[in-house]
């Protein structure tokens, strides 16, 4: 196996990436909000045959640019939507672009690791990316950020290449193209992160930058101009179609995310540091050896260090904090992990002892904490009656009463994880290079198993009840709406068509032209629960189902 990887490295990483990322794409329904939001926008592109604009509920959706949604629409065109192919579900199609992005990321970081260091370094970098929890999980999701991050990373890489050789203007142009594509994926934050990284890198390396300051500045302006042309060209078309108000709304939304805790996502300052420590385990512990090093001996490593701190500090300062906002840090963290693993393997000083006692303790504490969480989730699912008396939230209590069938082995995934952590540090010599590689390998398998066998059951508690209702009504000449909570699930899984009235319009009509159904949470306001035009037809697992009289 090892000889095959050495002879055919790129094919090997395509195979490994596909083996890890592809099988779980259809393991569960898409999750509200983000996954369903993007998939629904892609579906509406196909239904309306309007590929020039992004829609949600067949109205202009100005929060996200179209590039990732275009990829999902192409995936739907190839695999089909809903149940057109038994071998490829709608969920598989919606998540397939990210699996390709994940495999592409493995290939790119292997190539760059090989270019700047060695084949072995490239393999360790790709392996670190595959072994970290959140990069692994997101590559099998329908979330925008992995593609967004890859474009920003490539934009920084190409400008770093220009910085090293200013005669190659092509690299500055390519940097602009990559950041432009990033802006078309998620917005101007791509340009902000890229620009801040260049600025901070320039300040740190001002002595070597000064003799060619104006050359670098002109190149940065060229790159930024090219990037903005991508963004402005698309939003110019949208402004011509819908008016300038949609542009104002878009930028107001971006500012709101930066300055307020939007959508209930206000978190403490240390939130992203904690998310990265837990989410990129086990390689996050290794990365600590390099994160706080003041000076890097190689320019590329310095770019990675600056990128990491720019992203972490920026998103720790902004008010809205969501797990994937700091996901751009995954690439630097996995790079730092590869640095330590490579030095550990080669026996170089001072990195041949990558975990001192404090970091070993942290490795054990974080690892066992995750093992406890991985074990408790199935235990709670198997024994809801034991935990219900301690839960006060009525909606959550209703969720836990969902008839989710557990096989009994799921809790052992967490137990095996905990045993792996103990094994890794057990013995006189503690954690060794070989043990850590074993830990990474088994963690890949355990994360895969958890995504396949536990996550779908979690989804069974949180949203499967209403989604099953939407699917049952799909294709019928009825209305289906949600009331009192934000959701995109009814749009996608009911396959809602254009021209349908809103929930408020339907509720307040004295009569309707077809049966109208409404879904609420059990904690909905009384003005919705006891609306005179609605009659309760079912209450199940924290959700209430109404029909218009």
* Residue 350 confidence (pLDDT): 56
Instruction: Sort residue 495 into left (φ over 0), alpha (ψ -120 to 50) or beta.
Output: left
Strand 543-548 to 534-540 pairing: antiparallel
pLDDT per position in the chain (549 positions), as tens? Answer: 556 667 889 999 999 999 999 999 999 999 988 899 999 999 999 999 999 889 999 988 878 899 999 999 999 998 876 544 444 588 999 999 999 999 999 999 999 999 999 999 999 999 999 999 999 999 999 999 999 999 999 999 999 999 999 889 999 999 999 999 999 999 899 999 999 999 999 999 988 888 888 999 999 999 999 999 988 888 888 878 777 777 777 777 777 766 665 555 557 889 999 999 999 999 999 999 888 887 777 889 999 999 999 999 999 998 777 888 899 999 999 999 999 999 888 876 555 456 778 888 999 999 999 999 999 999 999 988 888 888 888 888 888 888 899 999 999 999 999 999 999 998 777 788 889 999 999 999 999 999 999 999 999 999 999 999 999 999 899 999 999 989 999 999 999 988 888 888 898 888 888 999 999 999 888 888 899 999 999 999 999 999 998
Partnered with residue 539 across adjacent β-strands are: 544
**Among the residues of 426-520, which ranges form H helices?**
433-453, 455-462, 464-473, 489-493, 503-508
**Nearest alpha carbon to residue 484 among 542, 537, 404:** 542
**Nearest alpha carbon to residue 378 among 421, 414, 402, 420:** 414
* Residue 236 confidence (pLDDT): 82
Partnered with residue 547 across adjacent β-strands are: 517, 535
* Residue 87 confidence (pLDDT): 45
Buried b (16+ CB within 10 A) or exposed e, 252-261: eeeeebeeee
* Residue 82 confidence (pLDDT): 53
Rounded to whole angstroms, how far apart are CA atoms 39 and 34?
9
Query: 520 in helix, strand or coil?
Result: strand
Q: What is the DSSP string of 182-245?
A: HHHHH-THHHHHHHHHHHHHHHHTHHHHGGGHHHHHHHHHHHHHHHHHHHHHHHHHHHHHH-TH
Cα dihedral 162, 168, 172, 178 sign: negative
> Who contacts 40 (Cβ-Cβ below 8 Å, separation ≥6)?
56, 488, 491, 492
- Here the tokens at position 284 are 């996050």
pLDDT (tens digit per residue) in 117-138: 999 999 999 999 999 999 999 9
**Among the residues of 283-350, which ranges form H helices?**
283-291, 299-317, 330-346
From residue 225, how far is each of 163, 167, 177, 218, 366 by CA, in Å? 18, 19, 10, 10, 44
* Residue 12 confidence (pLDDT): 94
HSE-CB of 93 using CA atoms within 13 angstroms? 25
* Residue 258 confidence (pLDDT): 67
pTM of the model: 0.93
Query: 117 in helix, strand or coil?
Result: coil
* Residue 261 confidence (pLDDT): 58
Instruction: Phi first, then psi: give them for residue 21, nearest 5 degrees.
Output: -90, -35
Instruction: Phi first, then psi: give them for residue 30, nearest 5 degrees.
Output: -65, 145
| CA-atom Rg of the chain in angstroms | 25
- Here the tokens at position 415 are 């137990």
Contact 143, 97 (CB under 8 A): no
* Residue 259 confidence (pLDDT): 67
């Amino acid at each position: 196996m090892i000889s095959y990887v050495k002879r055919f490295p790129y094919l090997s990483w395509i195979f490994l990436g596909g083996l890890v990322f592809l099988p779980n794409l259809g393991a569960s329904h898409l999750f509200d909000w983000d996954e369903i939001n993007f998939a629904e926008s892609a579906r509406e592109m196909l239904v309306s045959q309007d590929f020039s604009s992004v829609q949600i509920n067949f109205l202009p959706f100005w929060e996200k640019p179209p590039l990732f949604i275009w990829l999902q629409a192409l995936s739907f065109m190839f695999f089909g939507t809903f149940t057109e192919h038994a071998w490829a579900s709608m969920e598989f199609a919606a998540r397939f672009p990210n699996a390709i992005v994940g495999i592409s990321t493995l290939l790119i970081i292997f190539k760059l690791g090989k270019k700047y260091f060695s084949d072995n370094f490239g393999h360790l970098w790709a392996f670190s990316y595959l072994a970290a929890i959140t990069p692994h999980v997101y590559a099998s999701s329908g979330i925008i950020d992995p593609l967004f991050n890859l474009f920003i990373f490539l934009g920084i890489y190409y400008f770093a290449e220009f910085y090293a050789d200013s005669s190659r203007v092509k690299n500055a142009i390519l940097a602009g193209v990559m950041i432009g594509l990033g802006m078309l994926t998620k917005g101007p934050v791509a340009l902000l992160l890229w620009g801040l990284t260049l600025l901070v890198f320039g300040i740190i390396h001002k002595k070597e930058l000064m003799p060619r300051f104006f050359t670098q500045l002109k190149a940065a302006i060229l790159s930024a101009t090219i990037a903005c042309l991508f963004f402005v060209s698309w939003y110019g078309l949208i402004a011509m179609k819908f008016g300038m108000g949609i542009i104002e709304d878009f930028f107001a939304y971006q500012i709101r995310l930066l300055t307020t805790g939007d959508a209930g996502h206000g978190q403490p300052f240390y939130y992203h540091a904690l998310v990265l420590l837990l989410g990129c385990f086990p390689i996050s512990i290794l990365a600590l050896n390099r994160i706080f090093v003041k000076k890097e001996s190689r320019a590329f490593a310095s770019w990675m260090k600056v990128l990491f701190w720019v992203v972490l500090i920026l998103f720790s300062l902004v008010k809205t904090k969501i797990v994937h906002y700091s996901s751009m840090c995954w690439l630097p963290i996995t790079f730092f992990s590869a640095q330590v693993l490579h030095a550990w393997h080669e026996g170089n000083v001072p990195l041949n002892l990558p975990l001192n006692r404090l970091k070993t303790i942290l490795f054990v504490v974080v690892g066992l904490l995750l093992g406890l969480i991985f074990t408790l989730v199935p235990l709670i699912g198997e024994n809801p009656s034991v935990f219900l008396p301690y839960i006060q939230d009525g909606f959550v209590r209703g969720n836990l009463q969902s008839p989710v069938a557990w096989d009994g082995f799921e809790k052992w995934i967490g137990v095996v994880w905990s045993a792996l952590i103990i094994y890794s540090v057990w013995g006189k010599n503690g954690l060794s290079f070989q043990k850590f590689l074993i830990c990474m390998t088994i963690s890949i398998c355990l994360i895969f198993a958890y995504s396949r066998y536990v996550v779908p059951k979690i989804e069974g508690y949180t949203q499967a009840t209403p989604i099953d209702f939407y699917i049952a009504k799909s294709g019928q000449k009825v209305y289906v709406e949600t009331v009192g909570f934000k959701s995109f699930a009814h749009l996608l899984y009911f396959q809602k068509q254009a021209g349908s009235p809103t929930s408020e319009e339907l509720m307040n009509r004295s009569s309707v032209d077809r049966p109208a159904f409404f879904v609420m949470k059990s904690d909905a306001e009384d003005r919705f629960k006891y609306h005179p035009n609605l009659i309760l037809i079912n209450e199940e697992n924290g959700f209430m189902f109404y029909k218009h009289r």
